[in-house]
Structure 1
Amino acid sequence: MWWIYALLSALFAALTAIFAKIGIKGVDTNLATAIRTVVILIIAWAIVLYKGAEHGMGNLTKINWVFLVLSGCATGLSWIFYFKALQLGKVSQVAPVDKLSVAIAIMLSVIFLGEPLTLKSSVGAVLIIAGTLVLIF
């Protein structure tokens, strides 16, 4: 079932690039990011409230809070730089570079999470990097 969610994530990430490229014409990218963030905030909290998941907030530890806040900061910075890159470049070049995050995440998961670096994940990361280089040059 996880792969269905992953495919939906990829689909909506692709749509994000297309919609953003059209929506940021003549707009400050920081303003565009702020608007996008408000929309995401409303949708995310609507889902939490609909599912009754807000009751779980009391169970969050200090470590949960620290790393969720850090993740939010990283996401915000990623979006700010992504929108600026989209405004300046072509979607067909920006999106593949953005997807280098997959190869970087594989490397960081080995370093910080102790996940095994398998031949399969190594080859996949190398292919992602190679594919990105082909698409941007």
Structure 2
Amino acid sequence: MWKLYAILSAVFAALTSILAKIGIKGVDSNLATAIRTVVIIILAWGIVFATGAQNGITQLSKRSWAFLVLSGLATGLSWVFYYKAISIGKVNQVAPIDKSSIVLTLILSYIILKEQFTVKTLIAGGLITAGTFVMLWK
């Protein structure tokens, strides 16, 4: 089931870039990010209440709170910089650089989470890196 969710994530991430580029025309990138964030907050909390997951908030540890807040800050900064980048650049140039986060995630998962690399992971990471450079090559 996780593969279906991952595919849906990729589809909606792609739509996000295209819809954002269209919507950001003539709009300050920080304002656009704030509007997007409000929509996401409403959607996320709507899903939480629709599924009854709000009851779990009292069971969160301080550690979970700290890392979720840090994750939220990282996400917010990622969005701010992404929207700024697409507001002044082409999506087909910004997106490959943004998606190089996959390689950074693999590296950080090895360093921080102690997840192991496989030959397949190393090859895929190398191909993603090479693909990023090919997309940016003039």
TM over 0.5, shorter chain: yes
Structure 2 partner of 1:42: 42
Unmatched 5+ stretches in structure 1 = none
2:80 counterpart residue number: 80
Provide Cα deviations, 1:29-49, integer angstroms capped at 9, x if missing partner. Answer: 001000000000000000000
Instruction: Give the whole-Å Cα distance in 2 for the aligned partners of 1:93 and 1:81.
Output: 14
- The equivalent residue for 2:98 is 98
In structure 2, how many angstroms separate the alpha carbons of the residues matched to 1:49 and 1:6? Answer: 23
| Identity percentage of aligned residues | 61
TM-score by length of 1: 0.98
Shift >6 Å, 4+ stretches:
none
Amino acid at match of 1:124: A
- TM-score using structure 2 length: 0.98
Cα RMSD after superposing both structures: 0.5
Q: Aligned pairs, how many?
A: 137
1:89 shift after superposition:
1.0
Which residue is equivalent to 1:114? Answer: 114
Q: Tell me how far apart the structure 2 counterparts of residues 136 and 63 of structure 1 sit (CA, whole Å).
A: 40
Cα distance in 1 for residues equivalent to 2:88 and 2:125: 26
Match of 2:31 in 1: 31
1:59 aligns to 2:59 (yes or no)? yes
Q: Give the alignment of 1:1-40 within 5 angstroms.
A: 1-40=1-40
